[in-house]
Every structure is written in C-alpha cells, then in structure tokens.
Amino acid sequence: MNKISFLGCGSWGGALGLVLANKGVHVTMWHRNPDVVQTLTDSRNHYLVPGLIFPDSVLFTSSMDAAVLGASIVIIAVPSQSIRELLQSNKYLFINDQTIVNVSKGIEIDTLMTVSEVIVDVLGDSFTKVVTLSGPSHAEEVIQGHPTTLVSASANSEAAKDIQSLFSNEVLRTYANADIKGVELGGSMKNVIAIAAGICDGIGYGDNTKAALLTRGMTEISRLGTAMGAELKTFQGLSAIGDLIVTCLSQHSRNRRVGQAIGEGKSLDHILSEMKMVAEGVQSAKSVHQLRQKYKVNMPICEAVYQILFEGKDPKQSVTDLMTRELRLED
C-alpha cells in the first residue's frame, strides 16, 4: 500500500497513525524534535498517551523530506495556528497530486481562514485534494477501540470518499460530507463552548446550566457558520453537535479542563504553562471574536468566553450578565 505520512505525532495524530498501521498501511510519522523521534523509535510508546504503543512497522522521523517525499497522502496533525509556518517552510516538498488531510480544529487568527483554506493559500489552487477529518473523537477512546464516528469533508468528492474508506474499520465509521467549511467551523467553534462548559463545572453549576449552554452554544455556532456560507444541516451532524457534546461533557477534553480551571479561579497563563498539549479553543476564542465582529453575528456566550480569557472578566459576573440580558423569543 502507498506511503501515508503524518506531520505531527501528538495524541490525535498518534491515535490515527495507529489505526492505519493496524490496517497494514505504511505509516511514517514526523516530529520536529529528534530526541522525541529517537524515544518513539526505541520504545514504541507514545510520550503523551499511556497505552498507545506503535507496531514496529511505523517509521518515525524528524526529517520533513523523509516524511513528505513519496507520500500519496499527507496528514497534518499539528496545532492549527502553526500550520501556515510549517507548510510555508516546506512547500517545495509537496506535489499537487498528493491528498492533504487536516485533522486539526482551529481558525487562523487575523486571516480568519479555516485550515483547509490555509493549506490552499500556501500550497496553491492546484492542490485540489484537500480533506478535513473531524468529528466527536478522543484519542484515548480510539486507542482502546471504542466505537467512534468521524466525518471526511472535501469539495473533492473522490478525495473525501478515499479518506472515508481509509479511516473506517469495525470500530471506526466515517461519513463523507461536501461541506468542508461547515465541518471545520463546527469543529473549531465547539472548543470555545467547551471552555464555557468547563467554567460552569469549575464554578459548580449543574446539569440545567450545562444543557442550556450546549443548546444555546449550538445556536451561536450555527448562526456564524451559516452567515459564512456553510450549510445548516452540517451543524446538526457529527462534526458540530456531535463534537460539541463529547467535548463539553468528557473528562478527556483539554478545552473543558481549561475552562474548569478558570472557573476554579486559576489564571489562563498558569493553566497553559502546566499543559503538555494544546487547547485549541483558547486561540479559537480570538478568531471567533474577530469573525463575530466581521459578520455582525450575535454570539453572547462566545463573547463572554473571550472576555473571561483575554479581558479578565469575572466568570460569575459573565453568567449573571448572560442571564439578565433583554428577554427574547427563542431562535
């Protein structure tokens, strides 16, 4: 089978790499740190996720040349805000016949591009096989073989179907979707709502609050997404409401844990300094703030998260302000 390479070997990239390796795929995994590569090569144990053990067939490298050259599919699994720099520095290695798959969930700050838009912006319009793989999925449960569903989204239907087939087995079911913008926006914005959910947990609120938050948060995600040209039905599916549910409720969720720590009174700088992995929702809160202003969309929950994270607003006061806004019809 053709070579498939991962750029990034964090928890999610590692879990997906294991899925493919277990199907007999020739997997190469790139990490920028040669010491991490050597540890992975020697021990076969993932450095972040206990229980993630790679078979001997997986090749680890810190060389971008070794990862990208000769690969039919390149899967980008680094934090969304670092993807432009990574591609820009190595764009000469890519060829437009390759399928480029994004598995990160974020919106680039200032440009306000989704990751697939960043990929095309850097590599060029001739790269037509660009896919985003998203959905309600934690690496820890994929590794354990728990039944999981994903969405393979692309404007190129054949590329979407190819990735759909690649990432499907007896415990992993992937659906195809043509609305790549909607899939990416849902996967990115739900992380902001997950921070809000964690804040509620940290303060000590219960199920009533969480139910209201998820429902009204999904309304905000749909408002902005449709204003940006995405399809409403996408936000009713796995990549939006499905991902929202798992991220807001799960103990595995980094974004929810960030919010919980804030609700407990810790500072954002302190929380981030103690994290080994990236919580994409922190940066996405900035992007959503900018998008809300650009498209003039009412998003009070997302705006409250932004104010708490970056303007120092008290979380309890934010909740009071949300609850005492002018009364209105439900939409």
**For residue 241, pLDDT beyond 80:** yes
pTM: 0.96
Q: Work out the percent of the chain whose per-residue pLDDT is above 90.
A: 96
Nearest to 14 by CA among 82, 94, 78: 78
Furthest-apart CA atoms within the chain: distance in Å = 61
**For residue 313, pLDDT beyond 80:** yes
Supply the mean pLDDT for the chain.
96
- Say whether 286 is catalytic: no
The residue whose two tokens read 């409401």 is 241
Would you tell me which CATH number, out of the four given (3.40.50.850, 1.10.10.10, 1.10.1040.10, 2.120.10.30), belongs to the domain 182-323? 1.10.1040.10
Burial of 243 (0-12, 13-18, 19+ CB in 10 A): buried
The Cα–Cα gap between 54 and 18 comes to: 6
Pairing of strands 59-61, 26-30: parallel
**pLDDT per position as a tens digit, 147-187:** 999 999 999 999 999 999 999 999 999 999 999 999 999 99
Summary count for the chain: helices (H), strands (E): 15, 8
Strands of the sheet with 99-102, listed across from one edge: 59-61, 26-30, 3-7, 73-76, 99-102, 130-134, 148-153, 172-177
**pLDDT per position as a tens digit, 196-233:** 999 999 999 999 999 999 999 999 999 999 999 999 99
Q: Where are the domains of the chain?
A: 3-178, 182-323
**pLDDT per position as a tens digit, 250-299:** 989 999 999 999 999 999 999 999 988 889 999 999 999 999 999 999 99
Report whether 142 contacts 119 (CB < 8 A).
Answer: no
Angle between helices 180-203 and 300-310 (to 10 degrees): 60
Confidence band of 50 (pLDDT split at 50, 70, 90): confident
Phi, psi of 119 (to 5 degrees): -60, -50
Per-residue model confidence (pLDDT) at position 282: 95
Q: Which of 190, 233, 266, 313 is catalytic?
A: 190
**pLDDT per position as a tens digit, 99-134:** 999 999 999 999 999 999 999 999 999 999 999 999
Please give the span between the terminal C-alpha atoms of the chain, in angstroms, as a whole number. 50
Q: Work out the percent of the chain whose per-residue pLDDT is above 70.
A: 100
Report whether 19 contacts 172 (CB < 8 A).
Answer: yes
Confidence band of 331 (pLDDT split at 50, 70, 90): confident
Report whether 24 contacts 1 (CB < 8 A).
Answer: yes
Q: Let me know if domain 3-178 sits in CATH 3.40.50.1100.
A: no
Per-residue model confidence (pLDDT) at position 1: 54
Beta strands in the chain (DSSP E): 3-7, 26-30, 59-61, 73-76, 99-102, 130-134, 148-153, 172-177
